[in-house]
Amino acid sequence: MRADEAYEELIQRVREEATLASIEALLEWDEETHMPAGAVEGRSEQLAMVAGLLHERGTDPRIGELLDELEGSSLLEDPDSPAAVNVRELRRDYDRYVRLPRKLVQDLARTTAVAQRAWSEARKEADFIRFRPYLERIVELKRAEARCVGYDREPYDALIGDYEPGITSAIVGRLFEALRRELVPLAARIAGAGSGPAVEMLRRAVPLDAQRGFGEKVAGEVGFDFRRGRTDLGVHPCCTSLGPGDCRIGLRFDRRDFVGGILTILHEVGHGLYEQGLDPEFYGTPMGEAASVGMDESQARLWENRVGRSRGFWAHFLPKAGERFPDAFGDADLDEFHFALNRVTPSLIRVHADEVTYNVHVMIRFELERALISGDLLAAELPGAWNDAYGRYLGVTPENDAEGCLQDGHWAEGLVGYFPTYTLGDVFAAQLFARAQRELGDLEESFARGEFRELVRWLGERIYRQGGRHPSARLIEVVTGGPPDHRPLVEALRVR
């Protein structure tokens, strides 16, 4: 068989898998946004079926044969060529996938579908006991997954490696250690400053529908393409690709947190711009996908924090908010507003955290999920361990589990080892934004004019259209000239 024929067959197969995966994404998105409560059992069967079909195709020995055929062929001479990149990444996916038994994959799909509903109800009632059996089962399945995949030092490495290839607990641990040394004293020094009228202003009531309307306008202005996407209300914010030309954003609003809603939209739009900016020619192959989950999160965190918390952004949007919501923001002063939205104060809820303490929230989750997977912590002990960690690192204690260990839905979704990608994303985002500033000049000034296209274009060329060409660390090096480095993040926080 000729290499080009083998490559063509391989690509056709993975494209079909991508179509199947996009169907799975619709099932999940619908569960988040529209599905009635009574449908949860049926949905878990649907998801288990698609997981089984994906496994059947993704582990087909024919894929292994095609990869064998291609590896070492002259087609892959240039390691940065699309063919070489796709074969490199598909080999990694395949080698991982064939280690997972179909039953495990289907059990995970079935369990997480039901667990998400249970989590959502447990959270509403602030009742961890309701969620505990599901968490126990998920931890058990994820430990089994880690055993099947294999690891050098600890099982958690096998899970985190699925989201960020090449990353280990040890690397993440060192990153958090370095950040903690910088951020905890920084937080202590500036915490609580700037309370007062402007902070109260951020809590003024804005009707939910109007928030959504305003948020969609913001999304459109920064470049989200609504012809190829939409927004919906969901249990928790998310951004899902349902196939080419179909990027769905799930949103959540709070009457008394207008700014939080806008930052959430920017976060999800950051994912969405990446998704919509991928090269459609490579759809369904690694060259047409995000470089890694961490890189994907970097785009979300870049728009949320580097753009959404900037003075320039609000120089443009605050007057519009004042016009649209005169009672809440008619009298808003830009400097006070900007100061208030960057106020640092230790808090209980990750998604509402300021930028400085945010990564402490992530670190706590990293430590706890690592312990759950190693077996050092039992699911039953989670609420206590959670509250201890919040007391120790942030000096705050949840009053109940809804504002404690039930606040995030990741574990219910089976996302264990995912949290560290937020911090990696923050680190990457700060590096990329600093580089963009250097190349494009004063971005805040553009934002103040309502001009976001230059930044989107820059990210499009440097990041989006590169797809999976480079592993994330290498991509950072190609774009910024240096390896991943937490210092630009610390620097950005210090300046602000």
Which residues are at the interface with a second copy (CB under 8 A)? 16, 19-20, 22-23, 26-27, 30, 34-43, 45-46, 49-50, 53, 225-230, 232, 242-246
Q: How far apart are CA 151 and CA 344, in angstroms?
A: 38
The CA distances from residue 422 to 166, 371, 374, 417, in Å, are 16, 19, 22, 11
Query: How many distinct helices (H) and strands (E) make up the chain?
Result: 22, 3
Closest approach, Cβ 84 to a second copy, in A, equals 26
268 is catalytic: yes
**Closer of 33 and 437 to a second copy (Cβ):** 33
Least distance to a second copy from the beta carbon of 214, Å? 19
Of residues 8 and 45, the one with the C-beta less far from a second copy: 45
Structure tokens at 432: 């990329």
SS3 441: coil
* 210/396 with CB nearer a second copy: 210
Q: How far is the CB of 224 from a second copy (least distance, A)?
A: 11
Which of 115, 122, 113, 71 is CA-nearest to residue 92? 71
CB of 261 to a second copy, least distance (A): 21
| Minimum distance of a second copy from residue 467's CB (angstroms) | 17
- What are the strands of the beta sheet with 247-251, ordered from one edge? 229-233, 247-251, 238-241
Q: What's the rounded Cα separation, in Å, for the pair 198 and 341? A: 9
Q: Least CB distance from residue 326 to a second copy, whole Å?
A: 24
Least separation in angstroms between residue 26's CB and a second copy is: 6
Q: Of 39 and 396, which has the nearer Cβ to a second copy?
A: 39
**Three-class DSSP category at 487:** helix
CB-CB contact of 165 with 475 (8 Å): no
Nearer to a second copy, 53 or 144 (CB): 53
Q: Rounded to an integer, what distance in angstroms lies between the CA atom of residue 234 and that of residue 20?
A: 23
Class of residue 14 by CB neighbours under 10 A (exposed 0-12, middle 13-18, buried 19+): buried
The 10 Å CB-count burial string (b at 16+, else e) for 41-74 is eebbebbbebbebbbebbbbeebeebbebbeebe
Beta carbon nearer to a second copy, 8 or 226: 226
At a CB cut-off of 8 Å and minimum separation 6, what does 8 contact?
none
Catalytically annotated residue among 268, 275, 289, 413? 268
**Cβ nearer to a second copy, comparing 166 with 226:** 226
Contact (CB, 8 A) for 285 and 91: no
319 vs 340: CA distance, rounded Å: 16
Q: How far apart are CA 289 and CA 274, in angstroms?
A: 9
Residues with catalytic roles: 268
